[in-house]
Amino acid sequence: MDEIVLPPLDVEVPPEGLTIGEVARATGLAVSTLRFYERRGLMLDPTPRDGGGRRRYDASDLAWIGGLLMLRATGMPVAEMRALAELSRRAGTEGDRLDILEAHREQVLAELARTQRHLAALDTKIEAYRQVVAFSRAHGSREGGLMRNTTLGDGLTVSAIGLGAMGMSAFYGPTDETEAVATLRHAVDIGVTFIDTAEAYGPFENEKLIGRALGSRRDEITIATKASSETDDDGTVHGRNGSPAYIRRACERSLRHLGMDEIDLYYLHRVDPQVPIEDSVGALADLVREGKVRHIGLSEASAPTLRRAHAVHPIAAVQSEFSLFSRDMLRNDEKATADELGIGVVAFSPLGRGTLTDSIRSLDELAPTDARRRLPRFQPEAFAANRRLLERIEAIAREKSATVAQIALAWVMSEGVVPIPGTRRRARLDENAAAADLVLSAEDRMRLAEALPETEIAGSRDGIDAPDGVDR
C-alpha cells in the first residue's frame, strides 16, 4: 500500500529546535493550545526543554503536531487523540491505533453524508429563491400562466400548485383520455409540473396514462406516486400492506407502468397498523439508496408517526386532506409537527372534492358511478347545508374578482401547504393555476375561517370514524 503523507508544515527546524512561540506562529495554534496539548498527553513525547527550562520542538514534534491538526480538523475528540498518543508511545500497538482511526473515519464519513444532504437542500432552496427573484424582477408577477416553484422537505422543489390526476382514471365517473392527456400536457406547459398519482387509481391505469402522456417530458415534471393497499397484478385489491416486501414490489411495478427509472416522491399511501412504521420507512429508504426513488413521503399519518418515520429517514412530504372544509391538520398537531421537522405538507382534495367550486351545484350533476355519492358530505341534506355555507365564500370571492375555487386554493397556500387540486379539463386547470397570483391578507384569512366555522360544516370528510391525531 502507498504511504499516505500528510501535508508538511512548511517550517525549517534548526538543530537547536523551535521555541513554543515559533511553533505557534508556524502552525496557527495559540501558545496556550500547545501547552494544553502537552498537559493532556496529546504529544508523542514530553516536549524537551533547554538548559533554561524552555520548550524546544524538533522536526518529529512538528510532524506530530501536523497530524493532530488533521485529526482536529476532522472533529476527532480530544480523548481519542490522547488514546492515539498513548498507543503511539508504546511498541506493537498498530492494530489498536488502526481501530481508533477506522472508527473515526466512519464517523467522519457519516457526518460528511449529513453535511452533503444539508448542502443539497440548501442549494435547492437557494435555486428556488433565485428563480422566484429573477422571475419577479423580470415580470413583477406570474406571466403567461407560468407557475412559480416552492420547496417541500428534504430539498424537494415542486410547483406551488400541483395537479391531482386521480379523477382522470378512477372514482369520478366516465373519463375522456384525449382530454386527460391534453390537460396533463397543458399543465406542464403552464408550469404545473408536480403531478400526483398512485397505483390505486385504476388500479394502475392512472400511472400508465401519465407515462403515455408525459413520458417524453420526464425532465420537466416531478412525479409523486404511492404504494397503496396491496394489489395483485390483475387489479385485485386486498387490505393495507406496508411490509418492505410489498413496498418494493409496488415500486418496481409503478416504475414499469410510468415508464420511468426513478420516482421523484414515493408515498406510503396509508400507514399499515400491522407493520412498524420504522420497517415501512426503512424499505422506502432502501429504494432511495438504490436510486429508484428520490424522496419519500407519508399520507394521512399522525404527528407521532411522522416523528418516528422522520427519525429513520428524512420525510419530504406528508399528504393529507386539507381545505376550508377539512382543517383537521391544524388542530391535531400534524401540520405543526411537519413544520417543526421541516417536512413539506401537500393537500389532496383542497377543493373539498368539488364542493368548494361552482362546478357542482346539484347532486344530479354527479355520474351514477361517481364514488363521491357515498361520502357523508354528498348526502342530500349535508350537501344542501354546505352549499348554503358556500354562499359566504362566494361573496368574498366576488370582492377579490376571483372564483370560489381560487379563494379556497389561495387559503390553503396561505397556510404554507402545497395544494394538488384534481381536474380532468384544461379550463379548470387554468382557473386553479391562477390562484397562485391571489394574495390573501391576514384579515382575508380570518374572514374565510369565520365564514366557514367547522361546527357548521355538515358531514365528515370521508366517513372514517377516526379521532383526531391518529393514522387514518
Q: Are β-strands 293-299 and 194-196 bridged in parallel, bridged antiparallel, or unpaired? A: unpaired
**How would you class 449 by CB atoms within 10 Å of its CB: exposed for 0-12, middle for 13-18, buried for 19 or more?**
middle
The two most distant CA atoms of the chain are separated, in Å, by 105
End-to-end CA distance of the chain: 57
Element (H, E) at 122: helix 94-139
Residue with cell 488514546: 83
Residue pair 456/389 in contact (Cβ under 8 Å)? The answer is yes
For 38-78, the DSSP string reads: HHTT-SSSPPPB-TTS-B-B-HHHHHHHHHHHHHHHTT--H
**Grid cell digits, residue 91:** 511498541
**How would you class 402 by CB atoms within 10 Å of its CB: exposed for 0-12, middle for 13-18, buried for 19 or more?**
buried
Q: How much is the CA Rg of the chain, to the nearest whole Å?
A: 30
Residue pair 80/124 in contact (Cβ under 8 Å)? The answer is no
Residue pair 184/213 in contact (Cβ under 8 Å)? The answer is yes
**Grid cell digits, residue 282:** 426503512
Catalytic status, residue 57 = no
Among the options 37, 201, 266, 267, which is catalytic? 201
**Grid cell digits, residue 187:** 399543465
Show Cβ contacts of residue 320 under 8 Å, excluding neighbours closer than 6 positions.
Answer: 299, 300, 301, 328, 329, 334, 345, 346, 347, 348, 472
- Which bin fits 232, alpha (ψ -120 to 50), beta or left (φ > 0)? beta
State the catalytic residues.
Answer: 201
